[in-house]
Structure 1
């Protein structure tokens, strides 16, 4: 457990932003210091650092950054009980495309198992059983030590581009391989992601605004049920994962 006195001492010594903490219990990260809205979640075993220049007032959340994907957020003071000093700093793995390809079957197995559990769409969800689209993607790959950025548009920028936003999607499936990511959203920015399963099918966590509330399998097709048709009209592009994310930010 971390105390505010510990943080205060590290802050005064000027070392706080370089000290890593290990997460030992499921943790919610908020999207603003005075917000109750979920930005993302972090599971035990992950690392974070603090980005404080002064300790917040009681009731105001603490600024943090997750080490594996550089994702920022805020945690409540009571969440300090979910942290312990890290015995060693997080070290990112370096994987080849062949190594990633060999693990894709297990990534898919994780998603199928998650789909078989009672679940619903949760904005910011990565812990399960409730996920958002990019949270499911990140967690499934992370279970195989393959790290992706957190959000759908970040994941699209990280992958090897297979199609560009606004391009023709005729014969789209001919360029896709099992394990590729399919992105959806307006031409300006992807806001949804799915994993391609082959045979024109993809798996994703989808919200009620698109006709489902949770994880399901749909088709890349202009015709089908309401969910399939809705997403087909929003296809933004596709990408292939050829490496594991390497953190860019060592401290705030």
Structure 2
């Protein structure tokens, strides 16, 4: 096992699963090979140590057995600043990413951010990251991060949020003409990546079900800037 420090950053040598609790029973997110993280505490709790991913500040638990898959990062992670004008030029490739992901056999994976199986916000994060644009990890965090736009003013690449009046719990990518692509689950969805229409008049129970949960729409104006901890 490598010697760990809370003052250093570490790079993932392989794709790693990160968990929502130290018992490692529920997947929280995934860290693709090459991502960087910090150790929050050197004292293990149950089967894991607490870590924070550098690119999106996401806090989760890493299995002790997976610590050997880390290596000391040579450089400290630095977020790349990107404005809306540059983001707009990359939207077409972000859409291409999601459509290509849909063509590969996949299923909905809670906590999934690494191909081929994603959750809703994991697909959004991976698609934007493919073009060098980091988003926060969870759908409610993504909703808080974007700039609100009306349905009438949506353009391709905007995000659409669904949920309850209290909190968003689902996110999709607008493709244009009220069509959106998303990774949806089993109980309410397609158990994987699919395309639906933002309308209650399609007659499709899945699309109509999500329309009934529509909260708001938003536009990505910048990349996420890590504040650290």
CA contact (8 A) 2:24 2:63 kept: no
Describe the superposition over 1:112-147 as per-residue Cα deviations: whole angstroms up to 9, x where unpaired: 000000000000001111100000000110111100
Distance 2:83 2:19 in 1: 34
Q: How far apart are 1:96 and its partner, in Å?
A: 1.2
Cα distance, 1:24 vs structure 2:
1.2
User: Does residue 66 of structure 1 match 2:53?
Assistant: yes
Q: How do 1:120-199 residues align onto structure 2 when only pairs under 5 Å count?
A: 120-163=107-150, 172=151, 174-199=152-177
* Runs of at least 4 residues off by over 6 Å: none
State the 1:35 CA deviation.
Answer: 3.1
Partner of 1:200: 178
Could you say which residue in structure 2 is the equivalent of 1:105?
92
Give the gaps of 5 or more residues in structure 1: 8-15, 164-171
Contact 2:157 2:173 (8 Å CA) reproduced: yes
TM-superposition CA deviations, 1:158-197 (whole Å, max 9, x none): 001124xxxxxxxx3x210110000000011111000000
| Aligned: 1:55 with 2:48 | no
Aligned counterpart, 2:218: 239
Counterpart check, 1:19 vs 2:4:
no
Aligned length: 228
Q: Provide the rounded CA distance (Å) in 2 between the counterparts of 1:192 and 1:140.
A: 16
Q: TM-score, normalised by structure 2?
A: 0.96
Instruction: Please give the alpha-carbon distance, in whole angstroms, between the structure 2 residues aligned to 1:198 and 1:100.
Output: 17
Q: Secondary structure at the match of 1:191?
A: strand
Q: Which structure's residues are more often helix, by fraction?
A: 1
2:75 aligned residue: 88
What CA distance in whole angstroms lies between the structure 1 residues aligned with 2:158 and 2:101?
A: 19
The question of 1:38 aligning with 2:27 is answered yes
| Greater share of residues in strand | 2
What is the CA-CA distance between 1:211 and the residue it aligns to?
3.5
Contact 2:51 2:59 survives alignment (8 Å): yes
Distance in 1, Cα, partners of 2:190 & 2:91: 25
